[in-house]
Amino acid sequence: MRHGPAEDEAPSGRDADRQLTTAGRERVRHVVRELIRRGKSPHLVLTSPLVRARQTADIVIEEAGLPSSALELKNELAMTGSARALVRDVVAAKRKRAVLVGHEPELSALVFELTGISIVMQKAMVVAVACKEDGTFRLKFVIDPKEL
């Protein structure tokens, strides 16, 4: 999941401090409710520590009714790490329905690397990818907030 729409500039001037807008928070809530409506409620949320991603992850946790222990901060999702290695760890640990909250263009690149499908992830978009028994990945579904 890509983080929701955020302010253009943080008062601090640091990109990492940009917060979700009010409309961005509502968009994330709407998308998470759709995810739950489809019977795909997450069990785990892994997030970039950047403020806008963390706020998105907090909304996922709240809407899904998950305990705070279901949230993990992962530097690999902070636009500088290796999200592919994180995916390998999640699969190896057999962690089901993990939502990874991150940024562009890293998330689109990760989806392409895993599935061979090119998707530009819009803000608050969910792209569900499943690992098959043979270790390959397939695209399961996309929730585009602009289509809800």
Q: Report if residue 10 sits inside a domain.
A: no
Residue 61: CB atoms within 10 A of its CB come to: 21
Confirm whether 6 is domain-assigned: no
CATH of the domain at 37: 3.40.50.1240
> How much is the pLDDT for 81?
64
Q: What is the pLDDT of residues 33-81, one digit of tens each?
A: 999 999 999 999 999 999 999 999 999 999 999 999 999 999 999 987 6
Query: Tokens 């061979």 sit at which residue?
Result: 116
For residue 114, the enclosing domain spans 15-147
9 in any annotated domain: no
pLDDT band at 131 (very low <50, low <70, confident <90, very high): very high
Burial class of 142 by CB neighbour count within 10 A (0 to 12, 13 to 18, 19+): middle
Query: By the 8 A CB rule, do 90 and 43 touch?
Result: no
Give a yes or no: residue 92 inside a domain. Answer: yes
Domain membership of residue 7 (yes or no) is no
User: pLDDT value at position 80?
Assistant: 72
- C-alpha 20/C-alpha 53 separation (Å) is 8
How far is CA 55 from its chain centroid?
A: 11
What's the CA gap between 139 and 114, in Å, rounded?
9
Enumerate the H helices of 76-135 as residue ranges.
83-92, 106-115
Residue 144 in this model has a pLDDT that exceeds 70: yes
Between CA 63 and CA 126 the distance in angstroms is 15
Q: What's the predicted TM-score (pTM) here?
A: 0.96
How many domains does the chain fold into? 1
Annotate 23-36 with three-state secondary structure. Answer: HHHHHHHHHHHHHH
40 in a structural domain: yes
